[in-house]
């Protein structure tokens, strides 16, 4: 199997290259416009084939591509490879609006080519070990509530960038039943002194589960917290490596295995393995496609709602 990695910035260097280059049976090809980075990483990871123009990859005989470039470039790159019937992986978000997301999946369907979006938080080992079936939308036990918080220190920002490039992580992580619109949702926002979006909290109920996604980018510390409740059983996770289970009026400490690499604890390993399975079979499960589209449509609806709020505040 031959796969090209396109865009070799911090995400590719920190979250992918250190472990994907160790996967047996995959020949990697690198691609970026920065000649120094391209040569340096090719040497570091012993990659023999590399390109500065992603369009050249159609002559490299790749089976698939993984795109880690800026969100603004995703639409054109994905369209190019899907039109060539080359399986395509893109780090979340796929694009920053719902219309382009639907258009890309229509193109993928017409060309019978997989389009995979990298949401690593769907694949956190510690969470999925204890919250069995939750991220697939089929919890083993009736799920009473799921709350996902992702906070940052002093980073208020532009509404669409805030929601699509960052908040989409907790939003998608609780969107386990593929909600695609903001009907019957409670949405609360806060703004910085210069009218940048500082925090957003979204809550809704679906299939008997109370779902809540929250992000405060003027928080005292960058951190992530997840909590889930079942009947007389409650979980709370602090980051991706430890948590607490309350059951039978007692507390039990939970943690990942000592030997588990950092990138594996963050779900990248399991996510890439799922992606490689998609490349091998040439098929994307319909439920995966539906959730990817739904989370982008939901994010877009939130953007429109919040931008209207911002306009009213300014005027």
Pairing relation of β-strands 250-255 and 242-247? Answer: antiparallel
Q: Does pLDDT of 315 surpass 60? A: no
- pLDDT class of 256 with cuts at 50, 70, 90: very high
Contact status, residue 265 vs residue 243, Cβ threshold 8 Å = no
E strands, the chain, in order: 2-6, 27-31, 49-51, 64-67, 87-91, 115-118, 145-151, 186-191, 197-206, 209-216, 223-230, 233-238, 242-247, 250-255
- Please give the CATH topology (third level) of the domain spanning 2-118: Rossmann fold (3.40.50)
Tokens standing for residue 241: 């490596």
pLDDT digits (tens, 9 = 90+) for 21-78: 999 999 999 999 999 999 999 999 999 999 999 999 999 999 999 999 999 999 999 9
Write down the pTM of the prediction. 0.96
> φ, ψ for residue 80 (rounded to 5)?
-60, -50
Q: What is the C-alpha to C-alpha distance for residues 65 and 87, in angstroms, rounded to an integer?
A: 6
HEC profile for 191-249?
A: ECCCCCEEEEEEEEEECCEEEEEEEECCCCCCEEEEEEEECCEEEEEECCCEEEEEECC
- Predicted local confidence at residue 12, as pLDDT: 95
Contact (Cβ atoms closer than 8 angstroms) between residue 212 and residue 137: no
Highest CATH level, class, for 122-262+294-314: alpha beta
CA dist 147 and 118 (Å) reads 21
Q: What tokens were used for 74?
A: 């995703």
Nearest one of 213, 218, 217 to 201, comparing CA atoms: 213
- What mean pLDDT do residues 132-152 have? 97
| Residue 260 CB burial class (10 angstroms; 0-12, 13-18, ≥19) | middle
Cis peptide before 81 (omega within 30 of 0): no
DSSP lists the bridge partners of residue 28 as: 3
pLDDT digit string, tens, across residues 88-133: 999 999 999 999 999 999 999 999 999 999 999 999 999 999 999 9
Selection from 224, 281, 258 nearest residue 273 by Cα? 281
Determine the Cα–Cα distance for residues 76 and 180; give it in Å rounded to an integer. Answer: 24
Residues ≥6 apart with Cβ < 8 Å to 283? 114
Q: Matching CATH topology for 2-118 and 122-262+294-314?
A: no
Domain definitions of the chain by residue range: 2-118, 122-262+294-314
Q: Give residue-wise pLDDT tens across range 195-218.
A: 999 999 999 999 999 999 999 999
Q: How far apart are CA 230 and CA 247, in angstroms?
A: 10
């Amino acid at each position: 199997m031959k796969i090209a990695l396109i865009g070799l910035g911090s995400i590719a260097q920190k979250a992918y290259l250190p472990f994907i280059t160790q996967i047996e049976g995959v020949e990697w090809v690198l691609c970026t416009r920065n000649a120094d980075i391209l040569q340096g990483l090719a040497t570091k990871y012993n990659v023999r084939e590399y390109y500065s123009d992603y369009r050249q990859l159609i002559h490299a005989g790749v089976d698939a591509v993984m795109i880690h470039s800026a969100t603004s470039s995703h639409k054109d790159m994905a369209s190019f490879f899907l039109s060539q019937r080359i399986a395509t992986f893109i780090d979340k978000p796929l694009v920053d609006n719902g219309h382009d997301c639907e258009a890309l999946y229509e193109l993928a369907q017409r060309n019978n080519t997989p389009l995979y979006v990298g949401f690593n938080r769907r694949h956190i080992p510690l969470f999925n070990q204890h919250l069995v079936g939750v991220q697939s939308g089929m919890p083993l036990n009736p799920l009473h509530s799921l709350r996902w918080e992702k906070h940052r220190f002093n980073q208020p920002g532009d509404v669409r960038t805030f929601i699509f490039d960052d908040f989409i992580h907790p939003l998608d992580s609780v969107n386990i039943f593929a909600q695609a619109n903001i009907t019957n949702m409670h949405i609360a926002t806060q703004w910085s002194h210069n009218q940048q979006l500082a925090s957003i909290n979204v809550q809704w109920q679906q299939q008997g589960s109370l779902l809540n996604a929250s992000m405060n980018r003027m928080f005292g510390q960058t951190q992530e917290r997840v909590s889930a409740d079942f009947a007389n059983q409650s979980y709370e996770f602090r980051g991706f490596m430890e948590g607490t289970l309350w059951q039978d009026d007692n507390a039990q400490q939970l943690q990942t295995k000592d030997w588990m690499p950092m990138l594996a604890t963050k779900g990248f390993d399991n996510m890439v393995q799922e992606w490689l399975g998609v490349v091998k079979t040439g098929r994307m499960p319909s439920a995966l496609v539906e959730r990817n589209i739904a989370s982008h449509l939901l994010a877009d609806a939130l953007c429109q709602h919040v931008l209207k709020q911002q306009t009213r505040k300014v005027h």
